[in-house]
Chain A
Amino acid sequence: DIQLTQSPSFLSASVGDRVTITCRASQDITTYLVWNQQKPGKAPKLLIYAASTLQSGVPSRFSGSGSGTEFTLTISSLQPEDFATYYCQQLYSYPPTFGPGTKVDIK
């Protein structure tokens, strides 16, 4: 199975901050990487697919980049509604696997 790691696992930030989360894959997954956002008590929500394409309705302050084994999710200006846990997920091969998550908390 393809393993995904994320860093940091926890991030404390203020409204307006620029935030970057990194996801690394144990092997080349080209751009078969998605980012999901999960708020407490809620289901995950797809933010970005194919490493860098914003899902419809997702604010443009979110962006994704990377290919191969290293990927990043950037929030250009953190908003109050962005405090959540972010999971990367690979769809390159079965089984689909998720990173352990990065919790973004309020400083």
Chain B
Amino acid sequence: QVHLVQSGAEVTKPGASVKVSCKASGYTFTGYYIHWVRQAPGQGLEWVGWVNPSSGDTNYAQKFQGRVSMTKKTSINTAYMELSRLTSDDTAVYYCAREDVSTLGVVLGFDPWGQGTLVTVSS
């Protein structure tokens, strides 16, 4: 079955960068966009952006422009999200999720989601 497995928790300092990985299995990695969504402690869900694993094209939420980079390595079916210039407000669980689409190319939703990676920013 389709699975997304993310890298482990990270603890990092303000001003630093963090890179989270998302390894896909059970489907053709290049056939579906990978989205990244974050959730601060006790808060709701916030979309960060997507990467097209086929072309490498990306689309980021305006809030993260200039600070986020999403990449992929197709040889190992893995997507990455790197966030730089971290502050305590970036402390959150970061999820990757596959964009599910219909045969007509209509986006149906995000399915499945990775298990999440807790990023803690603390001095």
Asked whether any CB of chain B lies closer than 8 Å to the CB of A66, the reply is no
B47 and A96 contacting across the interface, CB-CB below 8 Å: yes
Q: How many A-B residue pairs have CB under 8 A?
A: 60
CA gap between A42 and B35 in the complex, in Å: 17
B109 with A91: CB separation less than 8 A: yes
Find B109's partner among A43, A55, A97, A100 (CB 8 Å cutoff). A55
Are A95 and B95 interface neighbours, CB within 8 A? no
Residues of B contacting A96 in the complex (Cβ-Cβ under 8 angstroms): 35, 47
**How long is the Cα–Cα vector from A50 to B104 in the complex, in angstroms?**
13
Residues of A within 8 A of B (CB): 32, 34, 36, 42-46, 49-50, 53, 55, 87, 89, 91, 94-101
A101-B35 Cα distance, complex, nearest whole Å = 20
What sequence of 0s and 1s flags, for each residue 102-116 of chain B, a beta carbon within 8 Å of any chain A beta carbon?
000011111111111
Residues of B close to A46: CB separation below 8 A: 100, 108-112
Classify chain B's interface size: 20 to 34
A34 touches B116 (CB 8 A): no
Instruction: Using known A-B contacts A43-B95, A43-B116, A46-B100, determine if residue A87 contacts B44 with beta carbons closer than 8 Å.
Output: yes
Contact of B47 among A97, A99, A101 (CB under 8 A): A97
Alpha-carbon gap, A44 to B97, bound state (A): 9
Chain A residues near B97 (CB, 8 Å)? 43-44
Question: Please, could you name 17 A-B residue pairs with CB atoms under 8 Å apart, sorted by A?
Answer: A36-B45, A42-B115, A43-B95, A43-B114, A44-B37, A44-B113, A45-B111, A46-B111, A49-B109, A55-B109, A55-B111, A87-B44, A89-B45, A98-B44, A98-B45, A98-B46, A98-B47
Q: Does B54 belong to the interface (CB within 8 Å)?
A: no
Decide: A50 and B45 in contact? CB cutoff 8 A: no
